[in-house]
Each structure stands twice: as C-alpha cells, then as structure tokens.
Amino acid sequence: MELERTFTAFSGHRRIASGAVRETLLETKAWLDRGEADPLLIFEDATGSPVDFDLRGTPEEALERLSSHPLVGGEADEAPPRRAGPGRPKLGVVSREVSLLPRHWAWLEDQRGGISVALRALIDEARKRGQSRQLARKAREAAGKFMWTIAGDLPGFEEASRALYARDDARLGALTRSWPKDIAAHVAALVAHAKRLEEEAALEERRATPTAAT
C-alpha cells in the first residue's frame, strides 16, 4: 500500500512546516529567507529520518531541484542483474530454481493454473497478510528515529525510548509531557499512527486465524 510521502521541518525544537514535500519546502524556504538562524532539520515522516534538500536560490529553483532528488525525484534504484535462463523477461517473469519435497510438488500440480500460478498466489497472499504488521513496525521505528535525532539530549529520553518500543504509549506520553511542545506533539502523532496500524494488523491476523470448532 502506497501512502503519500510527507515531511516535517523543525527549527531547533519548533515545528515550522509539515505536509507534502512541495508544501513543506516552500514553508521552510520562507522561514530561511526571513534570516532565521536556529538549526534546521527536515524529517521524512514515514521513516523518521532527516533528509537533506537544497534550498538555495528562489523558491522556484528549490522546487525545480526536486526532480533530481534521489528520494523524491522518481529515480528508480538500479535493477539487479537477472539470471540468464528460461522465463518471460519482457513480462517481468524470471525463472529461478525451487527445491521442494515430493508432497509439495504434488499439491502444487493439483492447483488450478499449474505450479507457477499457485506459487505466485501463495506468495501474494503471504505478502498481504504481513504487510500491515510490517507497516506498523516501521511506523514505530520512525517515531524512535525521530526521537533519537531531535530529543536524544532531552530529560527522560532513554526511559521514553524504552516505553516506545515496549508499546507503553501512556507512559511515553507522560515522559514526553515536559519536552518542548512541538516535539512532544510530533512524537504523539507518529505514535498514534503506529498504534492505528498495530490495531489494524492485529484485527487482520484475528480474521485470518481459523476459529477452533467447539
């Protein structure tokens, strides 16, 4: 599932912009042009990692450079070399060796569409089941990376970090209450997003688990 990529800019402990990349950069550029001197960090919300953008020149020039930015410019990673052999490379189909027990081959051969179709269906289903849990894990890790970068020297950081990964969100909120309000609010927003994903993943897992016969 692809979500819109959003960013949040902080000047010291103050949040100065948040939203889609163009919106965030324009607001951040306006902040820079006012001559503000506090340290500037722009975070990608999905990862919690700081991202560098070239904001020199006019706002239009800064936006134009986005097209060549490695993160948001649409540049694809270099494709890994494909192994020579049978397959349909023009359709993205590549042949690889698979080792299975005889009973596995027998089951696959009985499935509609044949072995390849059955294997692809099994993989797609497994990916779908694991996607929500993976998204939830990454969302909580994003909150941790953001905290580590911007709040590592704030009081109670280590205990707050332990509460984050223990999913003790009530204690985390209590520990961050004394932090600068914009940092505490952004941590709370990232954690709330992670918690929603965790609840959705748990619900999907319960639905996928067969109910024992009574």
The pLDDT of residue 81: 46
Determine contact, residues 176/188, Cβ cutoff 8 Å: yes
What confidence tier does 2 reach under pLDDT thresholds 50, 70, 90?
Answer: very low
Name the percent of the chain lying above pLDDT 90: 57
The pLDDT of residue 21: 95
Determine contact, residues 55/16, Cβ cutoff 8 Å: no
Amino acid at 12: G
Query: How far is Cα 33 from Cα 23, in angstroms, rounded to an integer?
Result: 16
Query: How far is Cα 32 from Cα 37, in angstroms, rounded to an integer?
Result: 8
Nearest Cα neighbor of 182 from 6, 31, 1, 16 is: 16
Nearest Cα neighbor of 82 from 72, 93, 71, 74 is: 93
Query: How far is Cα 178 from Cα 106, in angstroms, rounded to an integer?
Result: 63
pTM, 2 dp:
0.72
